[in-house]
Each structure stands twice: as structure tokens, then as C-alpha cells.
Amino acid sequence: MGLIFKKTHPEIFQGTIRKRFYFEGWYFKIVDATGENIFALIPGVALNKKLNSSHAFIQILNGKTAEYNYLRFPLSEFYAEKDKFMITVGNNQFSRNDIHLDIDSPIPIKGDLEFSDFTLLERSIINPGVMGPFTWLPFMETKHGVLSMNHTIQGILQIQDKNINFSNGKGYIEKDWGTSFPSNWIWMQSNHFNDANKSFMFSMAKIRYLGWKFTGFLGVLSTTDEIIRFGTYTRAKIHNLVITPTSITFEIRTKRDILKITAQKSMDATGSSKTAQMLAPERGEMSAKCLESISSTIHITHSKIHHGKKEIVFEDIGVNSGLEIMGTRDDFF
């Protein structure tokens, strides 16, 4: 299998288990039709040969309770197909089209989910994924892929002693791979807007590259009428950035579009945010921290520029949203 095939198919396993310092993880968010059951499932592999800590894993996040579990598996129980997206971790199998779960502890989860009606990003040699031409840069500490902006779920999962019907629910799939997460980053995602066909994701990070540090960002807004990709490589700009521990507000501006974004973590009855402290990779060791909420809100106002005048196209609020805030404004600009 050639390099071009792998780069233009970011969903497949990009690494090898022989690497000394490496991680790769696939992020599945599943939400039932009622919005009362929100989970993130993250299978992957973490390789650190120096510390002899290499292993496979499945991370499980309950968006309603912020309960988090990290399931560790021997590296021998990880398998990835070479020419398609199909991975197994223990008795569990993951692909773009379906999931099979057979987990006994610490939180029993069993069942099968099937996915259909995908919203996918177009690919080309120049833009093989959401990172655009940056996909081809070697030695980046983290690379990012969006595998499905939006899709429909069918199936039932038995979680502990409760059967949860995810049929006609909605899902989202992305992934990361490399050696380490960035030093600071912002990430958000939602596909639960008033317009069922709308979905949005955004990621910004302080990137370390060959001794140089810079802030890069990427994102996608998908609607019934269009898919807008924006980021550092499209010459889009970030304006009016305000960050708190539980919220972020900013604008993304291009020649033709302005997106005003306000993302807010949800709060529990005590006034604390429903945020889990998850594990993240540092040189292939799952020792870094990631603070994530998947029950947040994202408020978007989208305007078009026509002959120098701004016209609002839509204003909408996404719920059941993912949000990670790992840094302050000074960390990025």
C-alpha cells in the first residue's frame, strides 16, 4: 500500500505498531434520538517503546454525567486492516459503517450500531482531508481527520443493565494521529442544530513544528446548500477571540463568509461544568490531560459578504456539542 493511498484515506490506520513514539485514535460520538444519551467512544493505540508502556485502549465518556473510563488492552489485542478502515480492540470492532461492543468492565457495554446517510468531505490529492495540503507535511506532532460530519445511527446498546435504543440518532466520527497532542488547543463540534442537515467542527492549536511554534486552525461548516472549509491553509482569519475556562467566543472571516461563534460548556446543579478530565498522548504515552464536555452548546451566526455588505444567512444553536478548551487567549495569540 503506497503513501498516497494512505494519505488520501485518513480513516485507515496511518501508523505501524513498530513505531517507538506514536498514537492513533478514532473518535465516535453517538447520540440517541431523544438527546438524553450522549457518549464518546475512542478506540486507539499508544506506543512508547522507551517506557515499555505500549498498549491499545478504548476511552468512554458519558456526556450527561461526565463519567469517564479508560480501558487498557495489551497491544497484541489491537488489529487494523491495511487497506480499509476496520480496527479491533479486544472483542470490539470499529469501522465507519458500524461498531460492535463487547465490554465487561469497568462499565459493561454490549451491542451493535450501524451507520448510514453520511455527510462526507470531498477529497483530492491537494486536499486529502480536513487539514488540506498540510496533510502532506512530515514530522507534525498531530494530524487530524474528519471521517463523517453527520450520519444516522441504528441499533441498541446495553450499557450496564439498561438497553439504550440509538436508532434514528446521530453520530460523528473523526481521528487524530502522531506523537503528541499540541501544547494548547481548542476543539468543538456539533451536528444537533435546528436544521438537521447542519453540522460544524472547529479546531485550533499551538503547533510545534521543527523548532517553530505557530497557531493553526481548521474547520468545516456543512449545511443543506454547501460545505465550507476554512483554516490556516485557506487564509481565513480569527478575530475577537475571548476564552474563559468554560466558554469561547470568536469570529472566523474569509473573503465571502463571517462566522460568529460562541461555545459554552453545560453546567450541573452545583454550577460546575459537565467536563471530564480525559487522558491524551505525549510522545505516545497517555499522560497528558484533556478536559472535554460533550453536552455543550455552540451558537453560530453565519453571514455572507455581497458587494461589501454583510447579510446574515442563518443563526442557529447546536446542542449535544463537544467542547475542549485547553489554553487561554495568550497561549494562541
Q: What is the pLDDT of residues 156-179, one digit of tens each?
A: 999 998 999 999 999 999 999 999
Domain with 111 in it:
3-332
Total residue count of the chain as it appears in this document: 333
What gap in Å lies between CA 254 and CA 202, rounded to an integer? 15
So what's the pLDDT on residue 7? 86
Query: Cβ(321)–Cβ(263) under 8 Å?
Result: yes
Its sign, for the CA torsion 154, 160, 161, 162, is negative
Closest by CA to 121, choosing from 95, 151, 149, is 149
Query: Cβ(289)–Cβ(279) under 8 Å?
Result: yes
Closest by CA to 67, choosing from 93, 110, 37, is 37
So what's the pLDDT on residue 275? 97
So what's the pLDDT on residue 1? 61
Structurally, the chain folds into a number of domains equal to 1
Query: Cβ(177)–Cβ(23) under 8 Å?
Result: yes
Give phi and psi for 203, each to the nearest 5: -145, 135
Amino acid letter for position 211: G
CA 278 centroid distance within chain: 14
User: What band does 124 get if pLDDT is binned at 50, 70 and 90?
Assistant: confident
* Structure confidence by residue, pLDDT tens digits, 46-70: 999 999 999 999 999 999 999 999 9
What gap in Å lies between CA 189 and CA 203, rounded to an integer? 9
So what's the pLDDT on residue 119? 96
Query: Cβ(141)–Cβ(179) under 8 Å?
Result: yes
What gap in Å lies between CA 26 and CA 58, rounded to an integer? 9
Q: What percent of the chain has pLDDT over 70?
A: 100
So what's the pLDDT on residue 4? 85
Provide the mean pLDDT of the chain.
95
Query: Cβ(319)–Cβ(35) under 8 Å?
Result: yes
Does residue 307 surpass a pLDDT of 90?
Answer: no
* Structure confidence by residue, pLDDT tens digits, 87-106: 999 999 999 999 999 999 99
Does residue 306 surpass a pLDDT of 70?
Answer: yes
Query: Cβ(332)–Cβ(206) under 8 Å?
Result: yes
What gap in Å lies between CA 247 and CA 325, rounded to an integer? 8
Does residue 2 surpass a pLDDT of 90?
Answer: no
Higher pLDDT, 139 or 184: 184
Where helices occur in the chain by DSSP H, the ranges are: 3-7, 329-332
Specify the 3-state DSSP secondary structure of 3: helix
Mean pLDDT of 282-293: 97
Quick one: cell of 101? 461492543
